[in-house]
Amino acid sequence: MRAIGLASAVLLGAGALTSCVPAADAAIQTDFGFSVMPSTVAAGGEVTLRVERNKACRGEAAVNSEVFDMVTIPRGESWATAVVDWDAEPGAVYDVEFECDRSSGTARLTIAGGRPTHHPTHHPTRHPHKGVHAGEGGTFAGFDLKEIGLGAALIAGSLGVAYHFSRRRTDEDAG
39 and 8 in a common domain: no
Structure-derived torsion over alpha carbons of residues 164, 170, 172, 175, reported in degrees to the nearest 10: -140
- In this structure, the answer to whether residues 85 and 105 fall within a common structural domain is yes
Q: Are residues 36 and 59 in the same domain?
A: yes
CA distance 136 to 44: 22
If asked whether residues 71 and 147 sit together in one domain, one would say no
Distance CA 56, CA 45 (A): 30
Q: Are residues 170 and 115 in the same domain?
A: no
The proportion of the chain whose per-residue pLDDT surpasses 90, expressed as a percent, equals 31
| DSSP H or E run through 44 | none
Same domain, residue pair 9 and 55: no
Identify residue 134 by its one-letter amino acid code. A
The boundaries of the domain holding residue 73 are 31-134
Q: What is the CATH number of the domain that holds 35?
A: 2.60.40.10
Same domain, 88 and 169: no
With a threshold of 0.75, does the pTM exceed it? no
Tell me which residue of 95, 94, 108 sits closest to 142, measured CA to CA.
Answer: 108
The pLDDT of residue 23 is above 50: no
Same domain, 41 and 69: yes
Based on the fold, state whether residues 36 and 121 are members of the same structural domain.
yes
Residue 69 and residue 82 in contact, taking contact as beta carbons nearer than 8 Å: yes
Q: 113 and 75 in one domain?
A: yes
Q: How many folded domains does the chain comprise?
A: 2
Q: For residues 55 and 43, which has the higher predicted lDDT (pLDDT)? A: 43
Q: What is the mean pLDDT of residues 14-42?
A: 66
Distance between CA 151 and CA 19 in Å, rounded?
Answer: 9
Same domain, yes or no, for 159 and 104? no
Mean pLDDT of 100-124: 72
